[in-house]
């Protein structure tokens, strides 16, 4: 599973890996510092995933430094529970809470934590692909609906309605708790796309 995840991310999401380096690492701090007065003097040409463990993405980054004759390769780790560096706080959301660990299902745990990093770096389109990857590799099913929902019948039965109502209520409660702890602002918008609204 680890090798497949690495191969998939290296093949399809190198731009995402570069974004992670910029947003969450000391190399990102160095880039922001070097380019403050001279844009483009320090840039990342490529990022390749060389290892994944329970806490980090280990990356080999190709760095082009104007003061060096050739690009150099640097090894760097991106913590899966990282927050954006100070230089990126204007661009990226710094109030995304850390995902509670799920030691029983490491693949689902990895997907959820990767999705958090994607949300921070404004890459929501990647989250669905990562969820699909987790399902294909045999994860318990992060983001997967139960099989006996029968969502094509209208009106839905009580069990299905209760499932979605509870999901919305839990999301609202989590937001209120995080607001009280100062992790998010006091403005909230709850959008429900409940299937019963589909008349077909």
Residue-wise pLDDT for 177-194, tens only, equals: 878 887 777 777 777 666
- Residues 132-156 have a mean pLDDT of 68
Q: Give the total residue count for the chain.
A: 200
Is the confidence at residue 150, as pLDDT, over 80? no
Nearest to 73 by CA among 60, 58, 54, 87: 60
CB 81 within 8 A of CB 113: yes
Task: Write down the pLDDT at residue 46.
Answer: 92
CB 151 within 8 A of CB 194: no
Q: What are phi and psi of 42, to 5 degrees?
A: -145, 115
DSSP 101: P
- Residues 29-52 have a mean pLDDT of 87
- Compute the 3-state secondary structure of the chain and give helix, strand, coil in percent, each to the nearest 5: 45, 15, 40
Joined together, the tokens standing for residue 9 give: 């991310």
Nearest to 138 by CA among 105, 101, 99: 105
């Amino acid at each position: 599973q680890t090798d497949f995840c690495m191969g998939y991310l290296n093949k399809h999401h190198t731009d995402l890996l570069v974004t992670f380096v910029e947003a969450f690492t000391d190399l990102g701090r160095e880039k922001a510092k070097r380019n403050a007065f001279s844009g483009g003097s320090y840039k990342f040409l490529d990022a390749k995933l060389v290892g994944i463990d329970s806490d980090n993405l280990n990356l080999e980054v190709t760095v082009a430094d104007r003061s060096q004759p050739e690009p150099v390769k640097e090894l760097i780790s991106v913590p899966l529970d990282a927050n954006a560096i100070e230089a990126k706080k204007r661009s990226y959301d710094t109030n995304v809470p850390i995902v509670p660990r799920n030691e029983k299902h490491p693949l689902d745990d990895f997907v959820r934590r990767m999705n958090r990093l994607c949300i921070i770096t404004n890459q929501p389109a990647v989250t669905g692909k990562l969820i699909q990857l987790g399902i294909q590799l045999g994860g318990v099913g992060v983001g997967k609906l139960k099989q006996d929902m029968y969502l094509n019948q209208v009106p839905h039965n009580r069990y299905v309605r209760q499932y979605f109502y509870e999901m919305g209520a839990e999301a609202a409660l989590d937001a209120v708790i995080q607001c009280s702890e100062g992790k998010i602002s006091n403005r909230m918008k709850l959008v429900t796309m409940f299937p019963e609204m589909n008349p077909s």
